């Protein structure tokens, strides 16, 4: 996407995905503070019920299934998906990209793999980053050490992680979250490099 476009109402998009347990939310919080380019977090809409402590309009826009469907039909979403077969819908509102552009920021999207692939289809220039735990084996060790899941749930999670890893090749960058500071530094470097290329092109 050209710089003309970003100043003319569209913003550069950064997409971050990764399996649960990859440390996504901590990295997002750090990036919002430390990124070399100002980032604006895209607030997703969802039909899932609000969890304790969550605030409408800050964590998500909490919509009823009817409201969500109406907005989907109106074409308000850049992408939306029923995530992890939960029956709940999640989606990125186009208005969030406009908000980022008016704030002179790049939009940071934290979406699942399906959402990311849909974003790539419409915005092939999006900066896509897949966050990995060091390996599925390490992920398994972590889950077993935590001991909160039954064997069946654990196997399902591992299978999801393996499936997501297969799609990770479609992302522009893969970053291993072996060490939080190092991973944040690597992503900040990727963002700086992308900005330099945009300014040069
Ligand atoms: P949670 O319900 O725990 O907040 O989020 C569950 C999952 O929904 C996470 O894997 C997250 O990446 C995904 N998610 C959150 N917002 C969006 C969105 O706007 N679009 C898509 N496709 N997935 C999302």
Q: What is the pLDDT along the chain (201 residues), one digit of tens a residue?
A: 443 344 445 679 999 998 776 788 899 999 999 999 999 999 999 999 999 999 999 999 999 999 999 999 999 999 999 987 678 999 999 999 999 999 999 999 999 888 999 999 999 999 999 998 777 787 788 778 888 878 988 888 888 778 878 888 899 999 998 899 999 999 999 999 999 999 998
Instruction: Using the mean position of ligand 1's atoms as its centre, give its distance from the Cα of residue 194 in Å.
Output: 25
Alpha helices in 124-201 (DSSP H): 136-146, 151-167, 180-200
Ligand 1, atom 6: closest residue by C-alpha: 83
pLDDT (0 to 100) of residue 160: 79
* pLDDT attached to residue 10: 64
Q: Rounded CA gap, 199 and 201, in Å?
A: 6
Q: Is 91 in the pocket of ligand 1 (CB under 6 A)?
A: yes
182/33 Cα distance (integer angstroms): 15
Among 14, 129, 122, 137, which residue's Cα sits nearest to residue 75?
122
Best of 42, 83, 130 for a ligand 1 pocket test (most atoms within 8 Å of beta carbon): 83
Burial class (CB in 10 A: 0-12, 13-18, 19+), 59: middle
Phi, psi of 171 (to 5 degrees): -85, 155
**Ligand 1 contacts CB of residue 164 (under 6 A):** no
Residues β-bridged to residue 14:
108, 127
In the chain, where are the structural domains located? 3-200
CA gap 39, 104 in Å, rounded: 9
Residue 199 Cα to ligand 1 midpoint, Å, equals 31
Rounded to two decimals, what is the model's pTM? 0.86
Topology given in CATH for the domain delimited by 3-200: Rossmann fold (3.40.50)
Which pLDDT value is given to residue 64?
A: 98
CA of 62 to the centre of ligand 1 (A): 12
Q: Determine the Cα–Cα distance for residues 201 and 186; give it in Å rounded to an integer.
A: 23
User: Can you say whether residue 96 is alpha, beta or left, with left for phi > 0 and alpha for psi between -120 and 50 degrees?
Assistant: alpha
Tell me which residue has its CA closest to atom 22 in ligand 1: 115
Integer-rounded Cα radius of gyration of the chain? 17
44 CB within 6 A, ligand 1? yes
């Amino acid at each position: 996407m050209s710089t003309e476009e970003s100043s003319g109402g569209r913003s550069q998009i950064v997409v971050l995905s990764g399996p649960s347990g990859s440390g996504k939310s901590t990295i997002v919080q750090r990036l919002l503070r430390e990124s070399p380019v100002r980032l604006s977090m895209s607030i997703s809409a969802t039909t899932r019920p609000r969890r304790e402590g969550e605030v409408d309009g800050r964590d998500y826009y909490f919509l009823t299934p009817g409201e969500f469907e109406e907005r989907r039909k109106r074409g308000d979403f850049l992408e939306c998906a029923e995530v992890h077969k939960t029956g709940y819908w999640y989606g990125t509102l186009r208005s969030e990209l406009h908000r980022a552009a008016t704030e002179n920021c790049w939009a940071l999207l934290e979406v699942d793999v399906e959402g990311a692939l849909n974003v790539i289809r419409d915005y092939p220039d999006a900066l896509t980053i897949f966050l990995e735990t060091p390996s599925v084996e390490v992920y398994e060790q972590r889950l077993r050490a935590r001991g909160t899941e039954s064997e069946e749930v654990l196997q399902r999670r591992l299978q999801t992680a393996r499936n997501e890893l297969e799609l990770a090749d479609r992302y522009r960058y893969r970053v291993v979250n072996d060490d939080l500071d190092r991973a944040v530094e690597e992503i900040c470097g990727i963002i700086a490099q992308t900005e330099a290329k945009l300014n040069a092109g």
